[in-house]
Chains A and B, each alone.
Chain A
């Protein structure tokens, strides 16, 4: 089925470890986004990508790294995880850019850092 898939759905790791969250979409959308959702903050943008090999920072990029070698994949890496990065992470995509375009969301990855 077409859609946007995130893996893993749940992850527990320790501080200092590297962890990569995967995002795969089958629509061939140009734009992809990573958000984190925390109680009392709604969703905040971490990084986004307008096309393969084009990425840019969002509101809260510190401690995260992204890459986009293929249009359909947009992995998010925490190079040295910290407890403050415990959160629910959502990947999203849209066909066109611009703040007037709705985005399609995956089901999220719940990440706990001990």
Chain B
């Protein structure tokens, strides 16, 4: 069975500093992995997707994630946080039913 664990429920950074949101996954086969972002009172928007091509995946708004099979991790990073990055972020693994299996989310706060 597939699952994801987001290691931090809340991360707080200052504007202009790096962002690191941590995610570990479990999968019985080569997984498809995603990061989604949710702004308040909005739906989820796809940030990036990994499907066994390059291990470093670039997404929208300057985010990227690195797939590390040996560590079963798929951490999301951004070199410099903006105020507009404040949102909730979900790490997601593709399920065997064709569905998506979501982590519990990490709320990112950005201080001026």
Task: List residues of A whose CB falls within 8 A of some B CB.
Answer: 4, 31, 33, 35, 40-45, 48, 50, 56, 58, 90, 92, 97-108
Contacts and interface: CB of A to CB of B under 8 A. Distances in A.
Interface residues of B, number: 26
Interface in B23-65: 31-32, 34, 36, 41-46, 49, 51
Given A40-B104, A99-B2, A99-B98, 6 more contacts: A33-B100, A48-B99, A97-B98, A98-B98, A99-B31, A105-B36
Contacts, number: 67
A105 B44 contact: yes
Interface string B56-76: 000000000000000000000
Contact of A100 (B32, B36, B45, B104): B32
A102 B34 contact: yes
A47 B59 CA distance: 29
A99 B3 CA distance: 12
B108 to A, nearest CB: 15
Nearest to A40: B104
6 contacts: A40-B104, A56-B97, A99-B93, A99-B98, A102-B34, A105-B36
A17 to B, nearest CB: 24
B6 to A, nearest CB: 8
A48 B43 contact: no
B82 to A, nearest CB: 22
Contact of A43 (B31, B45, B98, B102): B102
A101 B98 contact: yes
Contacts of B46: 102-104
B43 A90 contact: yes
Contacts of A100: 32, 51, 94
B105 A106 contact: no
A43 B95 CA distance: 13
Contacts of A44: 102
A107 B95 CA distance: 23
Contacts of B44: 43, 90, 92, 105
